Amino acid sequence: MQQKISFSTYAIIGTMLFGMFFGAGNLIFPIQMGQLAGTNFWPALIGFLVTAIGLPFMGILAFGLSGSNGLRDLAGRVHPLFGVVFAMALYLTIGPFFAIPRTATVPFVVGFEPYMNPAHGSLYLALFSFVFFAIVYYFSLNPAKIIDYIGKYLTPAFLVFLFLLIVIAIVKPMGHFGKPTGDYSELAFITGFKEGYNTMDALASLAFGIVVIHAIKGQGITDPKAIAKATWKSGIFAMVLMMLIYGLITYMGASSESAIGTFDNGGLIFAAVAQHYFGSFGSILLAIIIVLACLKTSIGLITSCSEFFHGIFPKVSYKIFVLVLSLVSLIIANFGLSNIIQYAVPVLMLLYPLAIVLILLVLGSSLFGHKRNVYAASMFLTFCVSFFDGYSTLVNSLPGATVPLFESIKSFYMDTLPLYDIGLGWMLPALVGAFIGYFWPTRFSRKQKHGDKIPS
């Protein structure tokens, strides 16, 4: 008989899940969104929570219900080759190309850059990131003890200071909400929705979901139904905590403009708020805690990415991947936080619709008999649109990257697809693809009607 699961078990797994997700981006994006949204605080926050909270929770739940053995297995429902390519693209995105370099640049921007001569900023960033990734490399070779130590002591210390800062910001607000700027004036919900992409947590949920399942099994829970139950209850615990923090940080940003002014990124806003309330000492203390918290996140990402790529390329040792990923992350970190964010957005606009559709298909897989054609057709048509979402975002930053053929296709989408102008044009093609795939003849239909697992 399956042992009854206690609340403390849910809390332990939920706290671990929170620690995995809450990193550098979870701090800097909501505070900047709050400052830009101003009086449109609520619709922007709700849109942000859909992608920053709802989608990661659904991604974790998809693993709990599907019984998949990892992202490659989960994405392999579309096609085995797609499983490999999509998994590699996702791990590179939440790894050395964007998320890992961000773990070094955020603490530098928050705690050190405000006190440095701008003329020497690049040199100091290079020195800081070198030391940071040297430490990450060392502990990633054998990460168990340092991750346990930081998770037990440093993350709670960070949260205590963060809540102290938030409580003071609420009790002694910096000012009134300002006027919304940019797209937040007319499209606050959709802009917040897309801003949630920047946390990369929905992508991370697909990469880390299997870790959660293993943690649940480590608690002695082996029955599939009990695993699914533990997954969604632990997920709710973690996501409610994150939702509370996101809301409070967004509020802090929305009330900050009159006191500290505006900045290029959320890291600088956070540093200015800490200095406003606590002076130089508070900013330094915050920087130290964020450095340690980001070290934990970076070590975890380097470790998981190295294990994944070692599994794909077993002839290359795990330690070699740790070295290569650390070096690549070091190089990209020196482009600076604002540039990392700028060039990450086109990739996220490409990958996020694919991740959303994959999660929804997995959750609803029993409704269409787990037919591979449904996965394949829906994901293909989604990609046909999300590719141009990424292209459009890239062209906004690099006008020289314009391709006439792509511009013609983009214009066709703009005139034809509903919601394309707000970045949701992939929704109808995804539905059409699922419909086509469902009625497309397949030689696996007999097996799938009997509920057998789709071939991988």
Specify the number of domains making up the chain. 2
Q: How far apart are CA 201 and CA 60, in angstroms?
A: 10
Number of Cβ atoms within 10 Å of the Cβ of 166? 18
Q: Is the same domain home to 106 and 216?
A: yes
On whether the CB atoms of residues 178 and 254 are closer than 8 A, the answer is: yes
Residue at 355 is within a domain: no
Q: Is the same domain home to 134 and 98?
A: yes
Q: Is the same domain home to 337 and 375?
A: no
Among residues 337, 155, 164, the alpha carbon closest in space to that of 248 is found at 164
Q: Is the same domain home to 241 and 372?
A: no
Among residues 291, 89, 133, 307, the alpha carbon closest in space to that of 211 is found at 307
Residue at 379 is within a domain: yes
Quote the pTM value: 0.84
Residue at 350 is within a domain: no
Q: Is the same domain home to 372 and 332?
A: no
| pLDDT tens track for 21-77 | 777 678 888 999 999 999 999 999 999 999 999 999 999 888 878 877 788 999 999
Residue at 397 is within a domain: yes
Which residue's entry shows tokens 């070094």?
Answer: 104
- In CATH, what number is assigned to the domain containing residue 307? 1.20.1740.10
Residue at 359 is within a domain: no
Q: Is the same domain home to 216 and 246?
A: yes
Among 292, 308, 342, which residue terminates a domain?
Answer: 342
Q: Is the same domain home to 138 and 199?
A: yes
| pLDDT tens track for 388-418 | 999 998 998 888 889 999 999 999 999 999 9
Residue at 251 is within a domain: yes
Nearest-5° Cα angle at 390, 386 to 393: 135
Residue at 25 is within a domain: yes
Q: How far apart are CA 217 and CA 207, in angstroms?
A: 18
| pLDDT tens track for 267-319 | 888 888 888 888 877 777 777 778 877 888 888 889 889 988 998 999 999 99
Give me the domain span that covers residue 440: 364-456
Q: How far apart are CA 45 and CA 376, in angstroms?
A: 33
Identify the three-state secondary structure at position 186: coil
